[in-house]
Amino acid sequence: MIDCHLHLQDPRLAGDLEEILATARSIGIGRFIVNGTGPHDWEAVSQLAARYPEVTPSFGLHPWQVGNEPEGWLADLEARLLGDPGAGVGEIGLDRWIEGHDLNRQTGVFLSQLELAGRLQRPLSIHCLRAWGHLAAILTEHPPGSGFLLHSYGGPAEMVERFVELGAYFSISGYFLQASKSEKLAVFDRVPQDRLLLETDAPDMTPPPERRPYRLASARTDAAGKVPNHPGNLIAVYDAVAERRGMSRDDLERLITRNFEAWWLTGRQT
Protein backbone atom coordinates (compact mmCIF):
# COMPACT_ATOMS: atom_id res chain seq x y z
CA MET A 1 0.00 0.00 0.00
CA ILE A 2 1.06 3.58 -0.66
CA ASP A 3 0.10 6.63 1.40
CA CYS A 4 0.28 9.37 -1.20
CA HIS A 5 0.07 12.31 1.20
CA LEU A 6 0.74 12.75 4.92
CA HIS A 7 2.91 14.62 7.42
CA LEU A 8 5.03 12.23 9.49
CA GLN A 9 7.15 15.22 10.59
CA ASP A 10 4.20 16.69 12.50
CA PRO A 11 5.00 17.05 16.23
CA ARG A 12 1.76 15.24 17.08
CA LEU A 13 3.32 12.03 15.73
CA ALA A 14 6.80 12.51 17.17
CA GLY A 15 6.43 10.16 20.11
CA ASP A 16 4.92 7.36 18.03
CA LEU A 17 7.18 7.17 14.97
CA GLU A 18 8.77 3.81 15.74
CA GLU A 19 5.38 2.23 16.45
CA ILE A 20 3.92 3.83 13.30
CA LEU A 21 6.66 2.40 11.10
CA ALA A 22 6.44 -1.02 12.75
CA THR A 23 2.68 -1.06 12.18
CA ALA A 24 3.12 0.07 8.58
CA ARG A 25 5.55 -2.76 7.88
CA SER A 26 3.28 -5.32 9.54
CA ILE A 27 0.22 -4.41 7.45
CA GLY A 28 1.96 -3.81 4.12
CA ILE A 29 2.37 -0.05 3.75
CA GLY A 30 5.47 0.25 1.62
CA ARG A 31 5.72 3.96 0.91
CA PHE A 32 4.82 7.27 2.55
CA ILE A 33 4.91 10.54 0.59
CA VAL A 34 5.76 12.93 3.42
CA ASN A 35 4.94 16.55 2.63
CA GLY A 36 6.75 19.52 4.13
CA THR A 37 4.77 22.72 4.59
CA GLY A 38 7.52 25.33 4.86
CA PRO A 39 11.16 26.01 5.73
CA HIS A 40 10.38 25.30 9.39
CA ASP A 41 9.83 21.57 8.73
CA TRP A 42 11.75 20.77 5.53
CA GLU A 43 14.79 19.54 7.43
CA ALA A 44 12.63 17.25 9.56
CA VAL A 45 11.20 15.72 6.37
CA SER A 46 14.72 15.22 5.00
CA GLN A 47 15.79 13.49 8.21
CA LEU A 48 12.81 11.14 8.08
CA ALA A 49 13.65 10.20 4.48
CA ALA A 50 17.26 9.51 5.50
CA ARG A 51 16.17 7.39 8.46
CA TYR A 52 13.28 5.39 7.00
CA PRO A 53 13.42 3.80 3.52
CA GLU A 54 9.62 3.91 3.32
CA VAL A 55 9.65 7.72 3.33
CA THR A 56 9.74 9.69 0.10
CA PRO A 57 10.05 13.45 0.74
CA SER A 58 8.19 16.34 -0.79
CA PHE A 59 8.94 19.99 -0.02
CA GLY A 60 6.75 23.03 -0.48
CA LEU A 61 5.34 26.20 1.04
CA HIS A 62 1.75 25.54 2.13
CA PRO A 63 -0.77 28.37 1.60
CA TRP A 64 -1.30 28.56 5.36
CA GLN A 65 2.36 29.59 5.64
CA VAL A 66 2.10 32.34 3.03
CA GLY A 67 2.87 35.65 4.71
CA ASN A 68 5.34 34.03 7.09
CA GLU A 69 7.87 32.85 4.54
CA PRO A 70 11.44 33.97 5.26
CA GLU A 71 13.53 35.86 2.76
CA GLY A 72 15.22 33.51 0.32
CA TRP A 73 12.75 30.65 0.90
CA LEU A 74 12.37 29.87 -2.82
CA ALA A 75 16.12 29.61 -3.37
CA ASP A 76 16.31 27.35 -0.32
CA LEU A 77 13.52 25.19 -1.73
CA GLU A 78 15.29 24.86 -5.08
CA ALA A 79 18.57 23.96 -3.38
CA ARG A 80 16.84 21.29 -1.32
CA LEU A 81 15.18 19.80 -4.38
CA LEU A 82 18.43 19.82 -6.32
CA GLY A 83 20.03 18.02 -3.40
CA ASP A 84 17.39 15.27 -3.50
CA PRO A 85 16.51 14.21 -7.07
CA GLY A 86 13.82 11.85 -5.75
CA ALA A 87 11.83 14.54 -3.90
CA GLY A 88 8.55 16.06 -5.00
CA VAL A 89 7.08 19.55 -4.62
CA GLY A 90 4.34 19.86 -2.04
CA GLU A 91 2.34 20.66 -0.16
CA ILE A 92 1.52 23.80 -2.11
CA GLY A 93 -1.75 25.36 -3.12
CA LEU A 94 -4.51 27.92 -2.67
CA ASP A 95 -6.87 28.43 0.25
CA ARG A 96 -9.73 30.89 0.63
CA TRP A 97 -11.06 29.10 3.72
CA ILE A 98 -8.47 30.42 6.16
CA GLU A 99 -9.21 33.66 7.95
CA GLY A 100 -7.43 36.70 6.56
CA HIS A 101 -6.26 34.94 3.41
CA ASP A 102 -4.46 36.89 0.70
CA LEU A 103 -5.29 35.07 -2.52
CA ASN A 104 -3.09 37.31 -4.64
CA ARG A 105 -0.06 36.57 -2.51
CA GLN A 106 -0.93 32.88 -2.38
CA THR A 107 -1.17 32.87 -6.17
CA GLY A 108 2.30 34.35 -6.56
CA VAL A 109 3.80 31.80 -4.18
CA PHE A 110 1.94 28.98 -5.91
CA LEU A 111 3.07 30.05 -9.38
CA SER A 112 6.70 30.25 -8.32
CA GLN A 113 6.55 26.67 -7.01
CA LEU A 114 4.61 25.47 -10.03
CA GLU A 115 7.35 26.86 -12.28
CA LEU A 116 10.06 25.27 -10.14
CA ALA A 117 8.39 21.85 -10.24
CA GLY A 118 8.04 22.04 -14.01
CA ARG A 119 11.61 23.15 -14.53
CA LEU A 120 12.99 20.40 -12.31
CA GLN A 121 10.36 17.91 -13.50
CA ARG A 122 9.09 17.01 -10.04
CA PRO A 123 5.63 15.68 -9.11
CA LEU A 124 3.31 18.05 -7.28
CA SER A 125 0.94 17.67 -4.34
CA ILE A 126 -1.67 20.44 -4.35
CA HIS A 127 -3.95 21.66 -1.56
CA CYS A 128 -7.05 23.64 -2.47
CA LEU A 129 -9.98 24.93 -0.47
CA ARG A 130 -12.70 27.21 -1.86
CA ALA A 131 -10.51 28.27 -4.79
CA TRP A 132 -11.19 25.58 -7.36
CA GLY A 133 -12.12 27.86 -10.23
CA HIS A 134 -9.04 29.98 -9.63
CA LEU A 135 -6.86 26.86 -9.48
CA ALA A 136 -8.29 25.54 -12.76
CA ALA A 137 -7.67 28.89 -14.43
CA ILE A 138 -4.04 28.95 -13.24
CA LEU A 139 -3.37 25.38 -14.38
CA THR A 140 -4.97 26.14 -17.75
CA GLU A 141 -2.79 29.20 -18.30
CA HIS A 142 0.31 27.58 -16.78
CA PRO A 143 0.11 23.85 -17.58
CA PRO A 144 2.15 21.87 -15.06
CA GLY A 145 5.27 20.37 -16.53
CA SER A 146 4.97 17.37 -14.22
CA GLY A 147 2.33 15.13 -12.67
CA PHE A 148 0.10 16.69 -10.02
CA LEU A 149 -2.13 15.36 -7.25
CA LEU A 150 -5.17 17.18 -5.88
CA HIS A 151 -4.86 15.75 -2.41
CA SER A 152 -8.05 14.98 -0.47
CA TYR A 153 -10.01 16.43 -3.38
CA GLY A 154 -13.01 18.30 -2.04
CA GLY A 155 -13.97 20.25 -5.14
CA PRO A 156 -17.16 20.18 -7.16
CA ALA A 157 -18.14 17.02 -9.03
CA GLU A 158 -18.60 19.01 -12.21
CA MET A 159 -14.94 20.08 -12.17
CA VAL A 160 -13.51 16.55 -12.07
CA GLU A 161 -13.54 16.20 -15.85
CA ARG A 162 -11.77 19.53 -16.32
CA PHE A 163 -9.03 18.63 -13.88
CA VAL A 164 -8.66 15.23 -15.55
CA GLU A 165 -8.10 17.04 -18.86
CA LEU A 166 -5.40 19.11 -17.14
CA GLY A 167 -3.67 15.91 -15.99
CA ALA A 168 -4.77 15.67 -12.35
CA TYR A 169 -4.73 12.72 -10.00
CA PHE A 170 -7.16 12.71 -7.07
CA SER A 171 -6.68 11.17 -3.62
CA ILE A 172 -9.24 9.96 -1.11
CA SER A 173 -8.56 10.29 2.61
CA GLY A 174 -10.29 8.49 5.46
CA TYR A 175 -12.07 11.69 6.48
CA PHE A 176 -14.43 11.20 3.54
CA LEU A 177 -15.60 7.89 5.03
CA GLN A 178 -17.63 9.79 7.62
CA ALA A 179 -21.38 9.58 7.01
CA SER A 180 -21.58 13.37 6.93
CA LYS A 181 -19.15 13.42 4.00
CA SER A 182 -21.03 10.95 1.78
CA GLU A 183 -21.61 13.56 -0.91
CA LYS A 184 -17.89 14.38 -1.03
CA LEU A 185 -17.05 10.69 -1.29
CA ALA A 186 -19.57 10.26 -4.12
CA VAL A 187 -17.62 12.83 -6.16
CA PHE A 188 -14.81 10.29 -6.45
CA ASP A 189 -17.15 7.98 -8.37
CA ARG A 190 -16.54 10.35 -11.28
CA VAL A 191 -12.76 10.02 -11.04
CA PRO A 192 -11.40 7.61 -13.68
CA GLN A 193 -9.73 4.56 -12.19
CA ASP A 194 -6.38 5.51 -13.68
CA ARG A 195 -6.41 8.84 -11.80
CA LEU A 196 -7.26 7.55 -8.34
CA LEU A 197 -4.86 7.61 -5.36
CA LEU A 198 -5.28 7.10 -1.60
CA GLU A 199 -3.89 8.91 1.43
CA THR A 200 -4.28 9.49 5.16
CA ASP A 201 -3.09 13.12 5.50
CA ALA A 202 -2.08 11.95 9.00
CA PRO A 203 -2.16 13.28 11.61
CA ASP A 204 -5.20 15.04 10.11
CA MET A 205 -8.26 13.75 8.22
CA THR A 206 -9.04 11.10 10.86
CA PRO A 207 -11.54 8.45 9.71
CA PRO A 208 -14.74 7.78 11.67
CA PRO A 209 -14.32 5.50 14.72
CA GLU A 210 -15.67 2.43 12.93
CA ARG A 211 -13.04 2.89 10.20
CA ARG A 212 -10.17 3.57 12.60
CA PRO A 213 -8.32 0.30 13.32
CA TYR A 214 -5.23 2.06 14.69
CA ARG A 215 -4.82 4.68 17.36
CA LEU A 216 -1.64 6.37 18.50
CA ALA A 217 -0.21 5.01 21.72
CA SER A 218 0.05 8.57 23.01
CA ALA A 219 -3.32 9.49 21.51
CA ARG A 220 -4.84 12.61 22.94
CA THR A 221 -6.91 15.35 21.43
CA ASP A 222 -5.03 18.20 19.83
CA ALA A 223 -5.58 21.92 20.35
CA ALA A 224 -8.66 21.75 18.13
CA GLY A 225 -10.13 18.87 20.12
CA LYS A 226 -9.45 16.31 17.39
CA VAL A 227 -7.89 12.87 17.73
CA PRO A 228 -4.70 12.70 15.61
CA ASN A 229 -4.87 10.20 12.76
CA HIS A 230 -2.63 7.10 12.83
CA PRO A 231 -1.04 6.47 9.39
CA GLY A 232 -1.91 2.78 9.75
CA ASN A 233 -5.53 3.77 9.12
CA LEU A 234 -4.59 3.79 5.44
CA ILE A 235 -5.68 0.14 5.46
CA ALA A 236 -9.25 1.26 6.20
CA VAL A 237 -9.17 3.61 3.22
CA TYR A 238 -8.01 0.78 0.95
CA ASP A 239 -10.75 -1.53 2.28
CA ALA A 240 -13.49 1.08 1.89
CA VAL A 241 -12.48 2.09 -1.63
CA ALA A 242 -12.11 -1.54 -2.76
CA GLU A 243 -15.63 -2.20 -1.52
CA ARG A 244 -17.04 0.93 -3.15
CA ARG A 245 -15.34 0.20 -6.48
CA GLY A 246 -16.30 -3.48 -6.43
CA MET A 247 -12.66 -4.58 -6.52
CA SER A 248 -10.57 -7.01 -4.54
CA ARG A 249 -7.99 -5.48 -2.21
CA ASP A 250 -5.20 -7.04 -4.30
CA ASP A 251 -6.56 -5.50 -7.50
CA LEU A 252 -6.91 -2.11 -5.84
CA GLU A 253 -3.36 -2.27 -4.51
CA ARG A 254 -2.07 -3.01 -8.00
CA LEU A 255 -4.17 -0.16 -9.44
CA ILE A 256 -2.94 2.38 -6.89
CA THR A 257 0.66 1.30 -7.44
CA ARG A 258 0.31 1.83 -11.21
CA ASN A 259 -1.36 5.18 -10.68
CA PHE A 260 1.25 6.28 -8.17
CA GLU A 261 4.06 5.41 -10.56
CA ALA A 262 2.33 7.30 -13.37
CA TRP A 263 1.85 10.40 -11.17
CA TRP A 264 5.27 10.35 -9.55
CA LEU A 265 7.16 9.69 -12.79
CA THR A 266 5.11 11.89 -15.13
CA GLY A 267 7.37 14.51 -16.70
CA ARG A 268 10.56 13.24 -15.12
CA GLN A 269 13.61 12.89 -17.31
CA THR A 270 14.78 9.29 -17.82
> 153-189 burial, b for 16+ CB within 10 Å, e for fewer?
bbbeeebbebbbeebbbbbbbbbbbbeeeeebbebbe
- The CB density around residue 40, as the number of other CB atoms within 10 Å, is 13
Domain assignment present for residue 189? The answer is: yes
pLDDT at residue 268, rounded to an integer: 59
Q: What is the CATH number of the domain that holds 130?
A: 3.20.20.140
User: For residue range 142-168, what is the model confidence (pLDDT) as tens digits?
Assistant: 999 889 999 999 999 999 999 999 999
Q: What pLDDT was estimated at residue 226?
A: 81
CA distance 213 to 42: 30
Q: Which neighbouring-strand residues pair with 197?
A: 171
Beta strand 196-198 with 88-95 is unpaired
Q: What whole-number percentage of the chain has pLDDT above 90?
A: 91
The pLDDT of residue 269 is 44
- In this model, does residue 219 exceed pLDDT 70? no
d(CA 193, CA 258): 10
pLDDT of residue 165: 96
> Taking 50 as the threshold, does the pLDDT of residue 211 lie above it?
yes
Tell me: the pLDDT tens digits for 185-206? 999 999 999 999 999 999 999 9
| pLDDT score of 173 | 98
Q: Is residue 101 part of a domain?
A: yes
Would the pLDDT of 224 be above 70? no
**Can you give the pLDDT at residue 134?**
97
Residue 74: predicted pLDDT: 98
Q: What does the pLDDT read at residue 111? A: 98
Flag whether 113 is in a domain. Answer: yes
Determine the pLDDT at residue 101. Answer: 84
Q: How far is the CA of 207 from the CAs of 48, 198, 218, 241, in angstroms?
A: 25, 13, 18, 13
Backbone torsions φ then ψ of 157, nearest 5 degrees? -60, -35
Mean pLDDT of 59-87: 97
* Mean of pLDDT values over 121-139: 97
The verdict on residue 270 lying in a domain is no
Q: Which domain holds residue 151?
A: 2-265
Mean pLDDT of the chain: 95
Total number of domains constituting the chain: 1
